[in-house]
Amino acid sequence: MSEAAPKLLFITNPNAGPGDIEPGHLIVSAIGDRAEYVVQETERAGHATDLAAAAVGAYDVIVAMGGDGTVNEVGRGLVGTSTPMGIVPVGSGNALARALGISLELAHACRVLLSDKTRSIDVGRVDDEIFLSTAGIGIDAEVCWHFAKQIGGRRGLLPYLKHGLHTVANYEARPVLLSLNTHPDPIEVKPQLLTFANTNAFGYGAEIAPGAQPDDGELDVIVVEDMTLLKAALSVRRLFRGTFDRVRGVSRYQASEIRIDREAGGCYQVDGEAREGGSTLNVSLSPQSLRVVAPF
């Protein structure tokens, strides 16, 4: 970051957060005249990526001011560049912010942007889609698909848990052939949940892969099988205690190149956003390819 007042671009999602946040007022109250800044609002899906990519080199930090979807889009525009991404988390899950120790207190998160502390993190990919926290198929993807298709309605932890338990009760797991570059032979699984974790966080404080680090060059692969509705309900607390990987029926692997072969195409999720994919999905990792302003 330059010695002069840093130049910050805030890319905001007007649909994220509680709706009573006015970005300009928040930024002024948090950082005053200690930085030059511009605020741009997104207008459509993918717009944050375009704005971030176009601004590379013109700003000291490009800030994602929104939820996990906005963070993903801004990160996509900055991968492989020297321009760092800042995060002001105004979404509901805020998975990457939590994993990197970025405060959910918005004024504090803004002030962190004035720091010269950056961390280079790995970036995951499912085919052409990137993810910074998690990606996966199964129950979580179905829940994300549900929220992507509904018009209006309320997001948040309780709606996700409610719909998640409903999905567990009705989800029909199908066979998957899982090929990992760290294993000599493919692994046959029938997962209700198959998650590729770049960080420990699922959002909302839930830890799907306790101890996972976003800069270790590996993805943590979490496979959940034989999860009944009762078992899922009893296991929810383990997600928030950092012990989910100890639940019976949960397997854990590490790899940086992964192939999924399934009977048919279907949905998957990247950072909580639903996508549609084919019967084969290729998952990979770009080590330490995105700089993020973070306290540690």
Rounded Cα distance, 52 and 74, in Å = 6
Domain at 129-287, CATH class: mainly beta
pLDDT for the residue numbered 28: 81
Both structure tokens of 110 = 């803004």
CATH 3.40.50.10330: which residues of the chain? 7-116
Q: For residues 16 and 90, is the Cβ–Cβ distance under 8 A?
A: yes
**Does residue 168 contact residue 296 with C-beta atoms inside 8 Å?**
no
Give the mean pLDDT per block of 10 residues along the chain (296 residues). 81 76 81 93 96 98 96 99 97 94 94 94 98 96 80 63 76 95 97 96 92 98 88 86 92 98 96 96 99 93
pLDDT at 17: 64
Handedness of CA 256, 260, 127, 164 (dihedral sign): negative
SS3 280: strand
pLDDT at residue 42, rounded to an integer? 96
Residue 6 DSSP symbol? P
Q: What is the pLDDT of residue 2?
A: 47
Give the span between the Cα atoms of 3 and 7, in whole angstroms: 11
Domain 7-116 superfamily per CATH: Probable inorganic polyphosphate/atp-NAD kinase; domain 1 (3.40.50.10330)
Q: Tell me if the pTM is above 0.85.
A: yes
Contacts of 175 (CB under 8 A, 6+ apart): 188, 189, 190, 262, 263
Cα 44 to Cα 21, 228, 295, distances in angstroms: 19, 39, 31
Yes or no: say if 247 and 210 are a contact pair by the CB < 8 Å rule.
no
Residues of the chain with CATH 2.60.200.40: 129-287
Q: What gap in Å lies between CA 294 and CA 129, rounded to an integer?
A: 24
